[in-house]
Amino acid sequence: MLHGILHYAHYLLESTIEKDETVIDATCGNGKDTLFLSNVVGANGHVLAFDIQAQAIQTTKQLIEDHQKTNVSVIHDSHENLEKYLPTKEMLIGGAVFNLGYLPKSDKSIITNAASTISAINTILHYLKTNGLIVIVVYYGHQGGQEEKEAVLKHVMQLSQRSYHVLQYRFINQKNNPPFIIAIEKRKRRY
């Protein structure tokens, strides 16, 4: 049976993230991925959850409080600045998730953009553990979404196959620009 897009994103992340790791929710939105990651890493792990919108920050903080989670830092800043929030420059990130596009039920003119997304991807790849994953759910059926989709795809397609596996998972018979997944796995270098 085929997984739906969001279910498959969680399946991929859960298959690589381990307890006690630090992970990134690069676009926390309504907090659902943040809560999921919090459960996966456990009480001794840590989630850094980013968003540029105050509404997303408030919603995520409330969800985390409602579930009595103490292993999450909700950060009102762009994911392109995530490096300054890492506890140490030597740490490894266990995994990361992005949901590109806009915050549902909010101002649709505030969207993710290619420049900040690609910058964040590159930073995470630098700190990502071997066999760790970045999972990017690409929503692109809005103004500006097509441009971000094309730029991100172009960027990840150019990643070295010696260093990364890049997967695209999508349903091809659905209408109205259905979302799809890009998953990037950091490979163990073989010399």
Model's pTM, two decimal places? 0.95
Domains and CATH numbers, the chain: 5-162 (3.40.50.150)
Q: Tell me, what's the pLDDT at 76? A: 98
- The model's pLDDT over 69-94, given as tens digits with 9 standing for 90+, comes to 999 999 999 999 999 999 888 889 99
CA gap 20, 4 in Å, rounded? 27
Q: Tell me, what's the pLDDT at 189? A: 62
Helices 54-66 & 32-41 angle (0-180, nearest 10): 40
CA gap 39, 121 in Å, rounded? 23
Residue 155 CB burial class (10 angstroms; 0-12, 13-18, ≥19): middle
In what helix (H) or strand (E) does residue 166 lie, and over which residues does it extend? strand 164-169
Q: How far is CA 27 from the centre of its chain?
A: 6
Q: Tell me, what's the pLDDT at 62? A: 98
Torsion of CA 171, 177, 179, 181, to 10 degrees: 60
- Counting every residue, how long is the chain? 191
Amino acid identity for residue 125 in this structure? L
Structure tokens at 2: 């085929």
What is the chain's percent helix, strand, coil content, to nearest 5?
Answer: 35, 25, 40
Per-residue confidence of the chain (191 residues) as pLDDT tens digits? 789 999 999 999 999 999 999 999 999 999 999 999 999 999 999 999 999 999 999 999 999 999 999 999 999 999 999 999 998 888 899 999 999 998 887 878 888 999 999 999 999 999 999 999 999 999 998 888 899 999 999 999 999 999 999 999 999 999 989 999 999 999 976 54
CA gap 69, 71 in Å, rounded? 6
